[in-house]
């Protein structure tokens, strides 16, 4: 059998229309060039963005972050903020997405072989508007069983984790390690032994009525959901502290949860087989999940 004859169970819906550099193309024709440095070197940046009730959630913050990521890797954005916003709206409308997920990518573009950034000077923009389900619904009820994988989070002095780059192998491998070991998710440590984040989500613990989350300086993405959760918690009178956390702090926490655009807020029931608190979603986590659900519904009114 030729490789190209295999049936891929993940073939995208042929009805899906993908925005590439100004054109909306059917998914089967939405291809990138093999000389794109995004493919050759993971050289590019991206965002994962939610659409709730036809509106792009936290659109301004996602656009800010992709511009910041691009700036950090010396990638000149080929569109203005307004053009990017218009392109995302065009894509959700073309695909009739009311509640879904946008994947926005900017690649270094087609270039010559070789990693120099001056070998690719024409960045490409790709927008996919579809749906995403990171975790099955039952995990929101029972909480994730997590482990600390041996794969450490990239050191902040390598490509900083605050750059949401197309090179996600660090996270991919940590997640694979956790799944192979029979866990739902990994909570990664940095080289100093401090807790950083999940493989695609930020992490919070609750202790004595306060929220604690690692600071950006320990090598994490500045999560947009993380920021919103801190604001929602404050409305309830829970102050969030950005502080260095050891695994010990998570083991002995009252509650723990992860936050992210795709996952929203998901409870963590255990870490390395130690139950956290009662070993099920705690009351403050459940309260914040409800507040988050209210918040995103209110945006539509
Ligand atoms: N950390 C990592 C590594 C991520 O990839 C993400 C986004 N999936 C997050 C945290 C959460 O960020 P946000 O809330 O902005 O989606």
Q: Which residue numbers are catalytic?
A: 164
Single residue among 84, 108, 130 that ends a domain in this structure = 130
Per residue in 116-151, is it b (16+ CB within 10 Å) or e — as a string? eeebbeebbbbbbbbeeebbeeebbeebbbbbbbeb
Q: Which atom of ligand 1 is nearest to the CA of 261?
A: 16
Percent of the chain with pLDDT over 90: 94
Q: Are residues 124 and 173 located together in one domain of the fold? A: no
Q: Are residues 123 and 217 located together in one domain of the fold? A: no
Q: Are residues 152 and 272 located together in one domain of the fold? A: yes
Q: 214 CA distance to ligand 1 centroid (A)?
A: 13
Nearest to 209 by CA among 176, 244, 236: 236
Q: Are residues 124 and 220 located together in one domain of the fold? A: no
d(CA 92, CA 98): 8
Percent of the chain with pLDDT over 70: 99
Average pLDDT over residues 88-113: 98
pLDDT of 285 reads 98
Range of the domain at 64: 3-130
Q: Are residues 68 and 156 located together in one domain of the fold? A: no
Total domains, the chain: 2
Express each pLDDT in 236-255 by its tens digit.
999 999 999 999 999 999 99
Q: What residues are in contact with ligand 1 under a 6 Å CB criterion? A: 48, 171, 197, 200-202, 221, 223-226, 259-262
Does pLDDT of 299 surpass 80? no
Which residues are within 8 A (CB) of 212 and not within 5 positions of it... i.e. 6 or more apart?
204, 205, 206, 240, 241, 242, 243, 245, 249, 253
- pTM of this structure: 0.97
Does pLDDT of 296 surpass 90? yes
Q: Are residues 18 and 117 located together in one domain of the fold? A: yes
Q: Are residues 189 and 261 located together in one domain of the fold? A: yes
Q: 162 CA distance to ligand 1 centroid (A)?
A: 9
Pocket test residue of 261, 265, 266, 288 for ligand 1, highest count of atoms within 8 A of CB: 261
pLDDT of 301 reads 52
Identify the CATH number of the domain in which residue 256 sits.
3.20.10.10
Q: Are residues 123 and 141 located together in one domain of the fold? A: no
Chain centroid to CA 133: 12
Single residue among 113, 130, 147 that ends a domain in this structure = 130
Q: 113 CA distance to ligand 1 centroid (A)?
A: 31
What totals of helices (H) and strands (E) does the chain contain, helices first? 8, 15
Given a contact cutoff of 8 angstroms between Cβ atoms, the answer to whether 255 and 284 are in contact is yes
User: Nearest C-alpha to atom 2 of ligand 1 is from which residue?
Assistant: 200
Q: Are residues 167 and 46 located together in one domain of the fold? A: no
Both tokens of 206, joined, read 């609750």
For helices 59-72 and 224-235, the axis angle rounded to 10 degrees is 140
Q: Are residues 228 and 119 located together in one domain of the fold? A: no
Q: 221 CA distance to ligand 1 centroid (A)?
A: 6
Q: Are residues 122 and 144 located together in one domain of the fold? A: no
d(CA 123, CA 75): 8
Q: 7 CA distance to ligand 1 centroid (A)?
A: 32
d(CA 162, CA 223): 9
Question: Predicted confidence band at 92 (pLDDT cuts at 50, 70, 90)?
Answer: very high
Helices (H), the chain: 37-41, 59-72, 81-94, 137-142, 169-180, 224-235, 247-251, 283-298
Express each pLDDT in 151-201 by its tens digit.
999 998 999 999 999 999 999 999 999 999 999 999 999 999 999 999 999
Pocket test residue of 201, 219, 231 for ligand 1, highest count of atoms within 8 A of CB: 201
pLDDT of 298 reads 85
pLDDT of 133 reads 87
Pocket test residue of 64, 135, 200 for ligand 1, highest count of atoms within 8 A of CB: 200
Question: Predicted confidence band at 148 (pLDDT cuts at 50, 70, 90)?
Answer: very high
Question: Predicted confidence band at 233 (pLDDT cuts at 50, 70, 90)?
Answer: very high
d(CA 174, CA 207): 26
What angle is formed at CA 109 by the lines to CA 103 and CA 113, rounded to 5 degrees? 130
Single residue among 102, 130, 158 that ends a domain in this structure = 130
Express each pLDDT in 257-276 by its tens digit.
999 999 999 999 999 999 99
Does pLDDT of 292 surpass 80? yes
Q: Are residues 279 and 217 located together in one domain of the fold? A: yes
Average pLDDT over residues 14-37: 96
């Amino acid at each position: 059998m030729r490789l190209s004859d295999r049936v891929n169970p993940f073939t995208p819906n042929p009805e899906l229309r993908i925005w590439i550099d100004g054109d909306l193309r059917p998914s089967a024709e939405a291809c990138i060039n093999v000389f794109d440095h995004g493919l050759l070197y993971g050289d590019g940046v991206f965002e994962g963005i939610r659409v709730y009730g036809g509106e792009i959630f936290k659109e301004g913050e996602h656009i800010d972050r992709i511009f910041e990521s691009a700036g950090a890797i010396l990638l000149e954005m080929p569109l203005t903020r307004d053009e990017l916003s218009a392109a995302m709206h065009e894509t959700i409308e073309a695909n009739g997405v009311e509640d879904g997920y946008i994947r926005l990518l900017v690649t270094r573009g087609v270039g010559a072989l070789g990693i120099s950034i001056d070998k690719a000077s024409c960045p490409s923009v790709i927008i996919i508007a579809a749906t995403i389900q990171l975790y099955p619904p039952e995990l929101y009820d029972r909480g994730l069983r997590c482990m600390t994988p041996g794969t450490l989070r990239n050191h902040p002095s390598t490509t900083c984790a605050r750059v949401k780059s197309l090179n996600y192998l660090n996270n991919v491998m940590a997640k694979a390690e956790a799944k192979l070991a029979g866990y739902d998710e990994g909570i990664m440590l940095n080289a100093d032994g401090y807790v950083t984040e999940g493989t695609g989500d930020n992490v919070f613990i609750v202790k004595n009525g306060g929220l604690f989350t690692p600071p950006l300086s320990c090598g994490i993405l500045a999560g947009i959901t993380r920021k919103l959760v801190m604001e929602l918690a404050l409305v309830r009178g829970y102050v969030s502290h950005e502080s260095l956390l050891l695994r010990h702090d998570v083991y002995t926490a009252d509650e723990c949860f992860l936050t992210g655009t795709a996952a929203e807020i998901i409870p963590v029931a255990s870490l390395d087989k130690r139950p956290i608190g009662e070993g099920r979603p705690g009351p403050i986590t459940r309260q914040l999940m409800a507040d988050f659900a209210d918040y995103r519904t209110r945006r539509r009114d």
